[in-house]
Chains A and B, each alone.
Chain A
């Protein structure tokens, strides 16, 4: 069965960096696009970034472009997001999600999420 497990969250000071990982299993990771989606406490879902199946294309939301970098290692079945210059408004549960296709469409499987808190 498809499993996505996020790790790397925690409390970080404003301006600092953090890298999240998402370990994938139960499917051929290298065939699917992958996303990060976040949810601030008590708020709705916000799409963050997507990476194509082979890493050839990446897109970001306006709110994180230039600060976050999505990447993947298909040999390790792992998705990453490097988050730099973190702000209080980046505080959220971060979900990794599998795209139904090799690029982007609907998100058919989600991880359980990992909390990132940006606070001094």
Chain B
């Protein structure tokens, strides 16, 4: 099973600042099959990024993903008030199990 480790656990930033979230895999993610999700309190997760760097439908371009192999990054270029939430990475390259990272909470400083 591929283990995904997200860091930091919590990111304290102000609106307008840049957020950089990390997701590290215990082994290489085949075809960079990695997605990012946003979850707000009391809501279901929402797909943001897939295949490491492609934005899902309707996702603003301030969200970007990059990386390959075992190291992946989600960047929010300028935080809007609605971006404060928890973010999860997920890999789907394994042939036996999907896995999620533990999450990064982006909170208002």
0/1 interface trace, chain B 22-50, chain A, CB 8 Å (1 if under): 00000000000101010100011111001
The B contact surface, by secondary structure, is loop
Give the residue name and chain of the B residue nearest to A95 (CB): B44
CB distance from B69 to the nearest CB of A (A): 18
Give the residue name and chain of the B residue nearest to A96 (CB): B44
A46–B103 Cα gap in the complex (Å)? 11
B103 to A45, Cβ gap below 8 A?
Answer: yes
A107–B99 Cα gap in the complex (Å)? 12
- Cβ of B72 within 8 Å of any chain A Cβ, yes or no, is no
A100 to B50, Cβ gap below 8 A?
Answer: yes
The interface residues of chain B lying within 8 Å CB-to-CB of A106 are: 35, 47, 50-51, 56, 90, 92
Q: For window 59-82 of chain A, which residues contact chain B by CB distance below 8 Å? A: 59, 61-62
A44–B90 Cα gap in the complex (Å)? 11
- Cβ of B84 within 8 Å of any chain A Cβ, yes or no, is no
- Cβ of B98 within 8 Å of any chain A Cβ, yes or no, is yes
A44 to B92, Cβ gap below 8 A?
Answer: no
Interface size class of A (residues with CB under 8 A): 20 to 34
The interface residues of chain B lying within 8 Å CB-to-CB of A110 are: 44-46
A112 to B100, Cβ gap below 8 A?
Answer: no
B46, B47, B103: most-surrounded residue (chain A CB, <10 A): B47
Contact of B97 among A37, A47, A100 (CB under 8 A): A47
- Cβ of B109 within 8 Å of any chain A Cβ, yes or no, is no
The interface residues of chain B lying within 8 Å CB-to-CB of A1 are: none
- Cβ of A92 within 8 Å of any chain B Cβ, yes or no, is no
A104–B50 Cα gap in the complex (Å)? 13
A108–B35 Cα gap in the complex (Å)? 10
CB distance from B58 to the nearest CB of A (A): 11
A108 to B56, Cβ gap below 8 A?
Answer: yes
Give the residue name and chain of the A residue nearest to B88 (CB): A45
A47–B1 Cα gap in the complex (Å)? 12
5 A-B residue pairs with CB within 8 Å? A59-B97, A61-B97, A104-B98, A106-B50, A110-B45
| Interface residues of A, Cβ cutoff 8 Å to B | 35, 37, 44-47, 50, 59, 61-62, 95, 100, 104-108, 110-113
